[in-house]
Amino acid sequence: MSKRALVVGAGITGVATAIRLRQIGWEPVMVERAAQRRGGGYFIMLFGTGKAAAGRLGVLDAIGTRSGSGATSYTVDRDGRRSPAMMPSDLPGEPRMLLRGDIERALFSVLPADVEVRYATVPTAITQDETGAQVTLLDQATGVTRTEKFDLVVGADGMRSTVRELVFGDDLLHPLGFMIGACLLDRPLTGFGMSEGLWLNEPGRSAIAFSFADRPSSLMFTYRADDSGNPFAGTPIENLRSAFGPAATGPILGELLDRYEEAPDVLFDSVNQVRMPRWHDGRVVLAGDAAWCLTLYSGMGASTGMAGADLLGTMLARHDGDIGTALKAWETRLRPHIEEQQAQVHADRLLFIAKDDQEYAMRTQMMQMAATSGGLPGNTSFDSKNRDISG
């Protein structure tokens, strides 16, 4: 009889896990808190680690790319002065420029149709013994709860994971002291072509329009959170306007903020890492943002979500019948790569935002060198972002 796994969360990690478990003959059941698929999202990169895993999962072609020679970018200031800027797709390993929804859609397109996905469903209790994990699931639409037994529970339920809270406790989320706002543009910015993006960087705050070859840009605002007060106190646009004030916005920044305000779907959140001494406990394992949230600055969330899922299947197949040994082998193989990524988060961040005047001067010099030499100096290791983490 095939083994049964509960996968909590139908994001990139969860769907990749379900695909991989099915590849090795398991029966995955997915539960997702949202009432339907969460196809949305903004700019995302896919580095070599993710491309290799996506290839094994059979989704690399379906993911496609929005990089292309037509996409360009400028460094701009509030007065509208422009100079040529780096394109993320030129970074080592030539990461693919994508929208999160491109990867989510590709994964769902190869998920076998008979994998059960229950929406509006969340776990409320998890207990385990040597025979299995008992999970109480609440159907939020009907209010009905039922307890079911699984051989394995995979918590792929994101940065604020319920599985993590139920099994591993809280206090594992580490705020980095920065905020993010993001939205998609439905039309080009005034004075810019469809595939032209921009970087407006100042000490402690940045506004970036990531350009794509085939559609208008994805906006990202990021700023250093004020230590005093609640960063979520105002509405997202109020917080952004305050973070980019009090100086006059000028035409470009003014339009960026207006476009965020009018966007139908926006992201506004704090930037956090998840750091845990152990990602598995008995028959429960965490993966993706639930286990190691690397932050948007790393550009590795989707890549490590898929790589972690792929490797999990490999280890479960290799240690067939011994889940404890499989999970241990999985974590032993994966953890050094993830910790390497976590350790370089501030070097990664510097690509997007300088925390103060001193970092700003360093970043400006770094970007000027990158523009002339074509390479990026600094502590960011792109080797680790392009390494294949297969078993």
Binding site for ligand FAD (CB under 6 A): 8-14, 31-34, 38, 40-44, 100, 122, 156-159, 162, 182, 288-290, 296, 301-302, 305
Residue 129 belongs to what H/E stretch? Answer: strand 121-129
Q: Quick check: helix, strand or coil at residue 377?
A: coil
Cβ nearer to ligand FAD, comparing 220 with 360: 220
382, burial (CB in 10 Å: exposed 0-12, middle 13-18, buried 19+): middle
Report d(CA 182, CA 263) in Å as an integer: 10
Smallest distance, Å, CB 346 to ligand FAD? 17
CB of 311 to ligand FAD, least distance (A): 14
Nearest distance in Å: CB 42, ligand FAD: 3
Q: Which of 155, 167, 193 is nearest to 11 (CA)?
A: 155
Q: Strands 218-224, 173-184: parallel, antiparallel or unpaired by DSSP?
A: antiparallel
- Helix or strand or coil: residue 164? helix
Q: Which residue has the tokens 């005047």?
A: 357
Cβ 200 vs Cβ 206: under 8 Å: yes
| Distance (Å) of CA 158 to CA 283, 325, 339 | 19, 25, 18
Q: How far is the CB of 296 from ligand FAD (least distance, A)?
A: 4
**Closest CB to ligand FAD among residues 196, 289:** 289
Of the two residues 309 and 370, which places its CB atom closer to ligand FAD in the complex? 309
| CB of 9 or CB of 216, closer to ligand FAD | 9
C-beta closer to ligand FAD: residue 43 or 178 = 43
**156/353 with CB nearer ligand FAD:** 156
How many angstroms separate the Cα of 88 from the Cα of each of 43, 190, 200, 354, 382? 11, 22, 15, 17, 12
Phi-psi domain of 148 (left: phi exceeds 0; alpha: psi -120 through 50; beta: other):
beta
In the complex, the smallest distance separating the C-beta of residue 177 from ligand FAD, rounded to whole angstroms, is: 18
Residue 157: CB minimum distance to ligand FAD, A? 4
Q: Rounded distance, CA 343 to CA 364, Å?
A: 23
In terms of CB distance, is 93 or 360 closer to ligand FAD? 93
| Tokens of residue 11, six digits | 């994001």
Minimum gap (Å) between residue 13 Cβ and ligand FAD: 3
CA 188 to chain CA mean position, Å:
25
- Smaller CB separation from ligand FAD, 244 or 297: 297
Closest approach of ligand FAD to the CB of residue 1, in Å? 26
CB of 165 to ligand FAD, least distance (A): 9
Q: With the C-alpha atoms ordered 24, 25, 26, 31, is the resulting torsion angle positive or negative? A: positive
Indicate the residue among 155 and 360 with the shorter CB distance to ligand FAD: 155
Place of tokens 């360009």: 72
